[in-house]
Amino acid sequence: MLDKIRKLLGVKDIPEEVTPLYRGARSEREALALLKEARRRDEQRRRRAIQDLEVFGSMEEELLEEGKGEVSESRRLMLARRIKEIRGKVEELNGRIENIYNKRVAIFNEHIGSLETVLELTTEELPDKKTMEEMAIRARELLENLEKSKELAQGIAQTQEPPQPDEEEKKILREMERRADLDLEKAEIEKIGADAEKPETVEPEPKSKERRKEAPEPEEKPEIEFED
């Protein structure tokens, strides 16, 4: 079937993403059904990966906010390692979306369009419902086996968590500190602004408890009468 597909499409090489599907098909129509099922599955996985990215983004923001106000160094380091783990998953998901799902969906679209054009010129009957379901199951199994083979070939490196923060964790810790400093600066600016808006009040001078003593009026001297 693979050689037949090459001749139908007029190509020399078939991408590895669709080669197992063509090899597992018994006819051109079955190959088309397998390609459509594979595309549907990857589009669904891509949507789920995008949703996971949004969740991880919210989690990272919450951890950063928690870390900026944390005073315990051990707790801050634990939060930094959690953020590092989340960022690693985000990087992995972005790589999957770009290098696997987007790439495969584009290849599937290209071959589906080519096969549909070719099959429009033929009079081959469409497979029945039972055959379509069997082809869908076969497509899922082929894709699962292909992905398992890639994972085994690449391997997943398991590294022991270091007791001291590495460079990435130190960078996250500094990011927490910057956020805390920005909050302090913002609060200080708001405080200064609030103080500047308050009207100045003039305190009255304290009244003296002791009243000033009024100067006594000069005493009038009595007139002395002299006898004649």
Please report the pLDDT score of residue 47 as a whole number: 95
Token pair, residue 183, equals 């909050």
Return the pLDDT at 88: 92
- Tokens representing 197 are 């808006």
* Residue 88, both tokens: 């690693």
Given a cut of 90, whether residue 48 has pLDDT beyond it is yes
| Any domain includes 147 | yes
How far is residue 83's CA from residue 157's CA, in Å, rounded to a whole number? 19
As for how many domains the chain has, the answer is 1
CA distances from 122 to 72, 109, 125, 126 (A): 73, 20, 9, 11
Q: What is the pLDDT, as a whole number, of residue 168?
A: 80
- Asked if the structure places residue 228 within a domain, the reply is no
Which one, of 180, 178, 179, 172, lies nearest residue 77 by Cα?
172
The answer to whether position 175 is within a domain reads: yes
With both helix axes pointing from N to C terminus, report the angle between 2-9 and 102-120 in degrees, rounded to the nearest 10. Answer: 80
Measured in whole angstroms, how far is the alpha carbon of residue 174 from the centre of its chain? Answer: 19
What percent of the chain lies above the pLDDT cut of 90? 23
The answer to whether position 204 is within a domain reads: no
Torsion angle of alpha carbons 54, 58, 61, 63, nearest 10°? -130
pLDDT at 160 over 50: no
Residue 202 lies in a domain: no
pLDDT average, residue stretch 171-194: 74
DSSP 200-220: P-PPPPPPPSSPPPPPPPPPP
Residue 54 lies in a domain: yes
For residue 146, the model assigns a pLDDT of 65
The percent of residues above 70 in pLDDT, for the chain, comes to 65
List C-alpha distances in Å: 199 to 86, 195, 202, 205.
Answer: 50, 9, 10, 19
In a domain, 151, yes or no: yes
Tell me, yes or no, whether 64 lies in a domain: yes
Contact in structure between 136 and 37 (CB atoms under 8 Å): yes
In angstroms, the CA 183 to CA 186 distance is 5
Q: Is the pTM of this model over 0.85?
A: no
Q: Domain range for residue 175? A: 2-157+165-185
| pLDDT, average across residues 87-114 | 92
Say what the pLDDT of residue 71 is. 77
